[in-house]
Amino acid sequence: MSQETVASLTPVELERRLKRDGIFLRLPPFVFKIQSPIPIVAQGIAELYADYELLADDTEFADFHVSVVYGRRLPRRLCVFELDGQRPFTPLAVGEAFAFLEWGMNWCVTGYCHTLLTLHAAVLERHGRVLIMPAPPGSGKSTLCAALMLDGWRLLSDEMALLDPVTGLVTPAPRPVSLKNGSIEIIRRRAPTASWGPTAHDTQKGTVAHLRASSSSVARATEPGLPGWVVFPQYLADVPAQLLPRPKAASLMQLAQNSFNQHVLGKAGFDALADVIARSDCYDFSYAQLDEALPLFAALPLPS
């Protein structure tokens, strides 16, 4: 018997189950129990998690029991993210409910998972080697990540690198790619047939929409990868795309700054980061046009 996926439920059935007891969803490497009475959350899950494994209702263990619920009974204008009844964040508009779920799930991982070193970075793989792109918001990291995924790179994550300090490998956690404002239209134009989640307008970050992770990335979600490149992207209007080697020491410092929990792991964390840098070719990358960027990445030499 093939495993059940979100796609095996009708939208009505999915909405009903989310509203009632919630669903157990395997989002490798984690299992989330998700519950929500808000239709927009069901829409987002139906669109974006169609290929993901749906576990039985009597699943024994979930890493996180999360929900997005209405903030008040009436009027239903606000929604709140809950981790097992605890509300770590202030409420947001109901239109942002699906994005809120995504943000909340990211927070669960970065807040509670310290057996893995977590880095704020987009992560992709090609020819068996992993590309890590750590960068602050506004650097064009997610846009570049979406474009590379559409160009055939395997998505490990658009938001966080999960580095196993014991094996030195990156654990994939492929989930939808979060795009903002102008990037949404740019990526829509490149992939007119791609699946998108609900658009959240007027969030703190402007307009936000999520692009579905490629099926091949989801299918290979349990295959870890060996770091190969660390690239620090920066979007700069009106410059030609440029990939410049970056000294390793400076790359290590920058990588450490993008880590959520290197300090928790102490020396083991530092050693794990140093190990990534030692294995990887490091670059600074600035770009204005994706069409110029993609050939440079396609031509990246395998690290020595």
User: Which stretches of the chain bind other proteins, using CB under 8 A?
Assistant: 31, 60-63, 65, 81, 84-90, 92, 99-100, 102-104, 106-107, 110, 112-115, 120, 137, 178, 203-205, 260, 263-266
Torsion of CA 76, 77, 83, 87, to 10 degrees: -110
For other proteins, which is the closer residue by CB, 60 or 238? 60
User: Closer CB to other proteins, residue 57 or residue 292?
Assistant: 57
3-state secondary structure of 297: helix
- Minimum Å gap between C-beta 236 and other proteins is 23
In whole angstroms, give the CA distance from residue 225 to residue 214. Answer: 17
Q: Is 142 helix (H, G, I), strand (E, B) or coil?
A: helix
**Shorter beta-carbon distance to other proteins: residue 59 or 242:** 59
What span, in angstroms and rounded, lies between the C-alpha atoms of 295 and 243?
11
For residues 209 and 201, give the distance between their C-alpha atoms in angstroms, rounded to a whole number.
9
User: Minimal CA–CA distance to 147: which of 161, 167, 131, 169?
Assistant: 131
Distance of closest approach, residue 239 Cβ to other proteins, in angstroms: 27
Which residue's CB is nearer to other proteins, number 65 or number 190? 65
Q: How far is the CB of 203 from other proteins (least distance, A)?
A: 8
Shorter beta-carbon distance to other proteins: residue 134 or 228:
134
65 in Cβ contact with 11 (< 8 Å) = no
Minimum distance, C-beta of residue 60 to other proteins, in the bound complex (Å): 4
Rounded to a whole number of angstroms, the minimum distance from the CB of residue 181 to other proteins is: 13
Q: Which amino acid is at 222?
A: T
